[in-house]
Amino acid sequence: MPVAKDIMTLNVITVTRDQPIKELSELFVTYKVNGVPVVDDDGGLIGVVTQGDLIEQQKNLHIPTVIALFDAVLFIESAKKFEEEAKKLTGKTVNDIYHRNPITVTPSTEANEVATLMAEKDVHTIPVVDGGKLVGIIGKIDVIKGVG
């Protein structure tokens, strides 16, 4: 049974939090990847940003539903959620749209477990971490190649 290190991509394209979204878009187009790890200044993994995050940023901002009741306005949706959506929509850098605390695997994680994680968690880009260090990345195509 193949494991993560057998199917992962070794040459990992990464971005930093302060990278402009325009540069991120160009990376997706140039390298034809669905997502990339976000690293800190020391190269430590801090998150993942995907094409979906970029697309999400472009959607129309959802204005919270309001109800006027006795001259008061009650927000049905959480103000925090609205604030997060507003930040994503107007974001200028990776920091505004990336997912923190990504799902990761180790080099010895079995390929079928990686496939299960992708399906159950609805993620398509999984960083491979060894001793806290980013050593590779697995995308959907890697899993398909690995089990095929």
- Residues 94, 21: contact at Cβ < 8 Å? yes
pTM of the model as a whole: 0.75
Cβ-count burial 106-141 (b if 16+ within 10 Å, e if not): eeebebeebbebbeeeebbbbbbbeeeebbbbbbee
Report all structural domains of the chain as residue ranges with CATH numbers, in order of start.
Answer: 4-147 (3.10.580.10)
pLDDT score for 51: 86
pLDDT score for 73: 46
pLDDT score for 22: 84
Instruction: Flag residues of the chain having pLDDT under 70.
Output: 57-91, 147-148
Element (H, E) at 89: helix 79-90
42 phi and psi angles, rounded to 5 deg: -95, 5
